[in-house]
Amino acid sequence: MSVSFFAGAYGGDASTVPAETRLECKICWYVYDPSAGDEVWQAPPGTAFAQLPEHWSCPQCGASKQDFLLLDD
């Protein structure tokens, strides 16, 4: 049995996500931008995805961090 991830997924290991990287929710397409932070979860601008709390979830649909995909500029 093999496990495959969506293209661009980071496999749930947020520590491998570069600090500047934006990530997109694969369910509702909400984009988390580290330079903007997250008002809903009171994450200040400059908060990397890896620095968000483990229980952080999508502000729009409630998806977990594992449901976010890396966005390439």
Binding pattern for the stretch 50-69 against Zn ion, x by CB under 5 A and - elsewhere: --------x-xx-x------
Closest CB to Zn ion among 19 and 40?
Answer: 40
Residues 6 or more apart in contact with residue 21 via CB below 8 angstroms: 34, 48, 49, 70, 71
Q: How far is the CB of 67 from Zn ion (least distance, A)?
A: 7
Give the span between the Cα atoms of 73 and 62, in whole angstroms. 25
Residues 6 or more apart in contact with residue 6 via CB below 8 angstroms: 26, 69
Amino acid at residue number 70: L
One of 9, 22, 30, 70 touching Zn ion (CB under 5 A): 30
25 binds Zn ion per the rule CB under 5 A:
yes
User: In the complex, which residues of this chain contact Zn ion (CB under 5 A)?
Assistant: 25, 27-28, 30, 58, 60-61, 63
